A and B are shown apart, each in its own frame.
Chain A
Amino acid sequence: MPEPQPGDGPRADGPEAGAPTGGGPAAPSRRAVLGWGGAGLALGAAATGGAVAVFGGGTDVVPAASSGAAVPFHGEHQAGIATAVQDRLHFAAFDVTTKDRAELVALLKEWTRAARLMTAGLPVGEGGFGGLPEAPPDDTGEALGLKASRLTLTVGFGPGLFAKDRFGLEGRRPAALVDLELFPGDNLDAARSGGDLCVQACADDPQVAVHAIRQLARIGFGRIAMRWSQLGFGKTSSTTPDAQTPRNMMGFKDGTRNVSGTDREALEKFVWAGPSDGSDWMAGGSYLVARRIRMHIETWDRTSLREQEDIIGRDKGEGAPVGKSKERDEPFLKAMKPDAHVRLAHPDTNGGATILRRGYSFTDGTDGLGRLDAGLFFLAYQRDVRKGFVPIQRELARNDSLNEYIQHVGSAVFAVPPGVRDKDDWWGRTLFA
């Protein structure tokens, strides 16, 4: 029997329950809590304590959602990248419809204000009720009474924003933000690809994540239009590798070797853009590749266990690499088949290319042919797309035996700017100010 899947639960809510950071990198989080703090964070801390008391300490599994903690919004980097992965996702990509740079800047400032409130567990504007009966409330209200649920909101800028004669940003497009080539096997749907802006909303409660995207879309109407969005559940990668690695829709543990949110050295090397990388405004930011990867679930399920394990390069029960006994044993790549997924995706196969993954499973009902429309919504953060996703995907698209069971159907890239530092700062200031 597989072990229970507590995710980040014990980490966030058990032994470290005193820190209301949801298990994120300790130092900046605590500083932020002591700094601008505020009622939302204090409540989050109290709620965490309460949950632990009720569940009798750190030995029992506490559902992460019951902690309700708030993740600090302000910081050097945007939350939602290296911070502990939550259980649910609502990701949205928008087209910018306004031609006016000032309107775009105003939108980003309004978004920042709203995000600051929502990530603290508070409603937007003047709230969801109590105002004029004749007018719609500022906040739509479906998250009233729900906790902050570790909501993080992470904003990214797509290549279109830097186009010529648009917002005067053509000279500021980072070289690391490349237009992805078409990889073999791609079957990309334009209606699920691209976008000028993206918002990644992660939370332990799906309603909190959906609420956040809905508010931001509403604030933006007339300046932006929703292009596509994706709901996700059951995180398939962990940024807290000491926790149990979650399983993907194929039943395999996914993301065992993901970059840890506490491994500062690896984050600096592979995830955070530096001031010397060519775009000074991106220092402290990162680059995001989002791919909607459809899985042919039915044919996968008809595949023998041995073939499944050969294709992945790990065993299904423990998740140990071929020839090893424990999940976290160092993989011996040559023991795997030449077209095994783990072998091809491994940094050693790709000249050291390493990315931070934050993918989620998705199930969008059933397609017209009666097949489950399910798979992996893959999110990868890296310091430079040319050195992260691109070489890895080139290798995989060409050789991976898993390709028989998956298809990339959506794709987008974004430059994710550095974090909002304090209450006067706003998303994108370093680019637009």
Chain B
Amino acid sequence: MRPARLTVLAAAAVVATLTAVTGCAEKGDAGGDGAIKVAASDSACEVSKKEFPAGKITVDVENKGSKVTEVYVLFPDDRIVAERENIGPGTKASITAEIKAGDYEIACKPGMKGDGIRQAVKATGGGAVAKRSPEMDAAVAEYRKYVQGQADETLPKAQAFADAVKAGDVEAAKKAYAVSRIGWERTEPVAESFGDLDPKVDLREADLEANQEWTGWHTLEKAVFKDGKLGEPEKKLADTLMADLTVWQKKVGTAEITPTSMANGAKELLDEVATGKVTGEEEFFSHTDLVDFKANVEGAEKAYQLLKPVAAKNDPELAKTLDTRFAALNTLLDKYRADKTGYDFVSYDKVGDAERKELSDAVNALAEPLSKLAASVAK
């Protein structure tokens, strides 16, 4: 045990040193006008500035104590703004967050237990948010509206699917299935921020843990498309799905959304496509993967369009590339549907290996520059 531990600590120290050296050599401090320094020890949590302007902040933590610690930036009601765990003795870490004007607490938790040692701090600014552009606020507000709208539109469509299941009408359920998921697929990263909601609603059979109860769309997908039998358990599952989706509809408007979370959410939607849809794993029984695919791309494009005014200002090349790549992927997807406004896509089991590779290449082509969108709006 002991030697191994020493090795880990030594390695951590080397990393910290490297970080420090690189920090000096690299372009200016991302935090803008200086980081907030936190000197953590086993008995103290010294904060270098008790007041700082609201906006994007950087907290540089140095653990001078003997215990592993963690540091939190907290709202007055103890909700977490940002955190960093597992800061080893003698090591440094930095936390970044975007915060509005107001009162906060910074807490160090030596030994990673208890309420921690707390310091009250204040983010100052003209009442509203400092260093945040009205354009960004508008983008976030508009996206919040979009997310809510998608949930509102989804409920009746999901209800139609649930009704068909409850009526034991396999054919009607088949027709209603894929379209009932579009709104969810467009905004999934937001739904994922509500902890257990996503697994309840959208878990695939392949991802089940032993003895885990399987609920949600894909349970019914299997019953409808594979077994072709809708009995009492399925009817109950349809009600559960509707209950969970109703929770989603109620919560979704309150989600914590920032420009960078929007940008990264857009990228995550493409990642969903790359890992699940392009391989045909998501809709294993219905083969309606291209419907989800399209919905993911639409959701990503919506977030991008809202952020584009800022992104195009900060990184015009990137915006140009993203415009081209979104268009290329959409054009490619159009090859798989008869009507360019509808969602009647080719069944994915009919899509050959070469075509799947072409789709995969187009997703990579878009997702790679999309991963740079967050940086372009955080500038």
Contacts and interface: CB of A to CB of B under 8 A. Distances in A.
B186 interface: no
B219 interface: no
Interface of A: 97, 126-127, 129-136, 218, 221-223, 225
Contacts of B32: none
B26 A221 contact: no
A222 B365 contact: yes
B278 to A, nearest CB: 13
A272 B58 CA distance: 55
B347 to A, nearest CB: 24
Given A218-B368, A225-B361, A127 B374 contact: no
Given A129-B19, A135-B375, A225-B365, 20 more contacts: A127-B26, A130-B19, A130-B23, A131-B26, A131-B375, A132-B374, A133-B94, A134-B263, A134-B264, A134-B374, A135-B371, A135-B374, A221-B364, A221-B365, A221-B369, A222-B364, A222-B365, A222-B368, A222-B369, A225-B357
11 contacts: A129-B19, A131-B26, A131-B375, A132-B30, A132-B374, A133-B94, A135-B375, A135-B378, A222-B364, A225-B364, A225-B365
Contacts of B94: 133
A132 B375 contact: yes
Interface string B217-258: 000000000000000000000000000000000000000000
B159 interface: no
Contacts of B321: 222
Contacts of B263: 134
A130 B26 contact: yes
Contacts of B96: 133-134
A225 B120 CA distance: 52
Contacts of B27: 126
A221 B374 CA distance: 18
Contacts of A131: 26, 30, 375
Interface string B251-287: 0000000001001100000000000000000000000
A136 B260 CA distance: 12
B22 interface: yes
A234 B30 CA distance: 45
B118 interface: no
A133 B368 CA distance: 17
A192 to B, nearest CB: 14
B132 interface: no
Contacts of B157: none
A135 B259 CA distance: 12
User: Chain B interface secondary structure, helix, strand, loop or mixed?
Assistant: helix
B276 to A, nearest CB: 19
B170 to A, nearest CB: 37
B325 interface: yes
A133 B94 CA distance: 9
Nearest to A132: B375
Contacts of A225: 357, 361, 364-365
Contacts of A134: 96, 260, 263-264, 374-375, 378
B372 A135 contact: yes
B366 interface: yes
A310 B94 CA distance: 67
Contacts of A127: 22, 26
B22 A130 contact: yes
A223 B328 CA distance: 12
B311 to A, nearest CB: 12
B61 to A, nearest CB: 14
Contact of A97 (B30, B361, B369, B374): B361
Interface in B1-47: 19, 22-23, 26-27, 30
Contacts of A126: 26-27
Interface string B79-95: 00000000000000010
A129 B22 contact: yes
Contacts of B369: 221-222
Contacts of B366: 222
A193 B18 CA distance: 43
Contacts of A130: 19, 22-23, 26
Contacts of A221: 364-365, 367-369
A312 to B, nearest CB: 38
B30, B361, B374 — most chain A CB neighbours (10 Å): B361
A160 B255 CA distance: 50
B87 to A, nearest CB: 15
Nearest to A138: B372
A314 B321 CA distance: 57
A136 B371 contact: yes
A225 B378 CA distance: 29
Contacts of A97: 361, 365
B24 to A, nearest CB: 10
Interface in B338-379: 357, 361, 364-369, 371-372, 374-375, 378
Nearest to B363: A221
Contacts of B372: 135-136
B325, B357, B364, B372 — most chain A CB neighbours (10 Å): B364
A188 to B, nearest CB: 16
Nearest to B368: A221
Contacts of B371: 135-136
A97 B364 CA distance: 12
